[in-house]
Amino acid sequence: MEVTNVTEYQAIAKEKLPKMVYDYYASGAEDQWTLQENRYAFSKILFRPRILIDVTKIDMATTVLGFKISMPIMIAPTAMQKMAHPEGEYATARAASAAGTIMTLSSWATSSVEEVASTGPGIRFFQLYVYKDRNVVAQLVRRAERAGFKAIALTVDTPRLGRREADIKNRFTLPPFLTLKNFEGLDLGKMDEAADSGLASYVAGQIDRSLSWKDVKWLQTITKLPILVKGVLTAEDARLSIQAGAAGIIVSNHGARQLDYVPATIMALEEVVKAAQGRVPVFLDGGVRRGTDVFKALALGASGIFIGRPVVFSLAAEGEAGVRKVLQMLRDEFELTMALSGCRSLKEITRQHIMTEWDAPGPRPAPRL
């Protein structure tokens, strides 16, 4: 059966993967309300398409932190990809590079920064968890820099791991033939069996709960790489991120895996964009499964989006070819959405092209042309 959209890969992955692995990738925190909402919230945004515009040529190219990419669709950091497919992060890196877009490598990857760099050219960001041992952090950041990574995505929503009940039931742990490759030489690459989730125990033991804004500043003293703050959901924290020297903001609820009952990221996006006032780019991750979702995020002010689960599900189903196909399908759908909305370039996508449930009723004043 031919796969015709991104969502179809999830069912294929569920059939192929061991239950513990599939549940780890698929589940959210607690009641999983935010997990469902991340998707559902997109359906509350409708289009106001403009007609009779020459859409012969459509340009989806953009720049992120000065790097030119083919489209505003990038790859979010997802951990332990070799659980999905033997080639894991290698396959994802090659697919991203072939699509002319950015891959973000997780701290908890099953391939190291050096291994991913060895797959060939490509623009790559490194997602960072801050460990209690700051020497570990400094070493990791230096290695990412040396391996040619172009930015640090600092995850700020995980002082403790969210309660993921599937992982507790399954006693989740990293399969014995795999390691967290970036930490292998530091005796931090293995995850012990635990009475609940092995990952939750690992986080409790290693990740620094005291992480604060001063550490965002500290990070800038050890690296010249731009820092994206990943996990912002409010205007207040958007402003503080900018004050702390962030080069960009990623509106993220960690794939609904941390605090349940936070809003869908698409719902939090506009508040963050308004607070940023154009001073830094704002990106979105969470719930993007269609090209229409990408358009909606850009119409609400995002500079680009990141996809997470679609990558691991397509990787499980078809390896590198699956990830390539996901990126191609989203690209094609996004291009079609632009054409049918009357937008020929990303700068033509405006707030006027959508309406949301929270907009005031009645026609909006016409934009000045």
Positions at the binding site for glyoxylate: 24, 129, 164, 254, 257
Nearest to residue 125, comparing CAs of 210, 23, 250, 243?
250
Residues 6+ apart with CB under 8 A from 63: 69
CB atoms closer than 10 angstroms to residue 203? 19
CA distance 36 to 21: 20
Residues 6+ apart with CB under 8 A from 95: 320, 323, 324, 327
* Angstrom distances, CA of residue 225 to CA of 18, 185, 220: 38, 24, 8
Instruction: List, in sequence order, every residue forming a beta bridge with 354; answer none if it has no partner.
Output: 47
Orientation of helix 19-26 relative to helix 8-16, angle to 10°: 150
Helix (H) and strand (E) counts in the chain = 13, 12
User: Catalytic: which of 85, 94, 254, 290?
Assistant: 254
Residue positions forming the annotated binding site for FMN: 77-79, 106, 127, 155, 230, 252, 285-289, 308-309
CA distance 57 to 78: 34
Could you tell me the two tokens for 315?
Answer: 């990787």
Question: Is 254 an active-site residue?
Answer: yes
Torsion sign (Cα): 106, 112, 113, 116: negative
> Environment class of residue 147 by beta-carbon count within 10 Å: exposed (0-12), middle (13-18) or buried (19+)?
middle
Q: Give Dmax over CA atoms of the chain in angstroms.
A: 63
Cβ–Cβ < 8 Å for 314, 325: yes
Could you tell me the two tokens for 347?
Answer: 């700068």
Look at the block and give the residue holding tokens 């929503």: 157
Residues catalogued as catalytic? 254
